[in-house]
Amino acid sequence: MQGACLQAPRAVLARMGGMTTTLALFDDPPRQEREPLGPGAFVLPGFALPFVDELLPAIRAVEARAPFRHLVTPGGFTMSVALTNCGALGWTSDRRGYRYSPFDPDSGLPWPAMPEPLALLAREAAAKAGFDGFAPDACLVNRYAPGARLSLHQDKDEHDYGAPIVSVSLGMPAVFLFGGLARGDKTVRVPLVHGDVVVWGGEDRLRYHGVLPLKEAPHPLLGAQRINLTFRKAG
């Protein structure tokens, strides 16, 4: 729903003829088209909603060729988030390290091509946040079941930090943690719902970030899961 909101419902004070009355609002106030999180980071609430009918079948087609898997980190931990990729490059991890590769290590085949509706959404969202000409070569697809989380990290396996990252949230809501350039910096919590897009670039590109453990709150279209697409210029 386009009018869904970041803030909790709240009471609003209205002045009527010298009297102040409290109106309990049942609807959340409308969110702005573009909410800055930092000098180069913007939430675009509901920006992906007009694309969803095309995104879901495209994601299912990717998943059919490159199934979701739980990667192992170099430290030996199995990630609670399941991942697949599409595009020329895909991100993978094993005991040897993290890397982008043109091949799916499970099948030995190239990753599925980036479906056109996904590439178009990424390009339009980046432009809306002031990054014209974004041409991603990698799309990581993360799938969260209830309880899955992503601990605080930086995205620095890409070659060109000049390009932004575009993130699309689908399905169950999540609370995103947005930190600073050092791991210990304070974090702000950003609730993200189905259809929200976030664009991170410029001086915010290397900020630490993570996702709190997902609460069980089944979504009408996607059930008990959250899917996050992140578009990157990796090569």
In the bound complex, what is the minimum distance in angstroms from residue 17's beta carbon to ligand MD3?
48
Q: How big is the site for Fe ion, counted in residues (CB under 5 A)?
A: 1
Q: What is the helix (H) or strand (E) element at residue 124, kind and residue range?
A: helix 116-128
- Please report whether residue 123 would count as binding ligand MD3 according to CB under 6 A: no
What 3-state DSSP class applies to 176? strand
- Please report whether residue 150 would count as binding ligand MD3 according to CB under 6 A: yes
Q: Of the ranges 70-78, 116-124, 181-189, 202-210, which one interacts with ligand MD3 (CB under 6 A)?
A: 202-210
Nearest of 118, 174, 168 to residue 145 by alpha carbon: 174
Q: Which residue is nearest to ligand MD3 (CB)?
A: 228
- Please report whether residue 86 would count as binding ligand MD3 according to CB under 6 A: no
Q: Indicate which single residue of 59, 66, 197, 211 sits in contact with ligand MD3 (rule: CB under 6 A).
A: 211
Contact criterion met (CB below 8 Å) for 101 and 89: yes
Partner from Fe ion, ligand MD3, none binding residue 231, C-beta < 5-8 Å depending on class: none
Task: State the SS3 of 9-68.
Answer: CCEEEEEECCEEEEEECCCCCCCCCCEEEECCEEEECCCCHHHHHHHHHHHHHHHHHCCC
Residue numbers at the binding site for ligand MD3 (CB under 6 A) = 140, 142, 150, 155, 165, 167, 198, 200, 204-205, 207, 209, 211, 228, 230
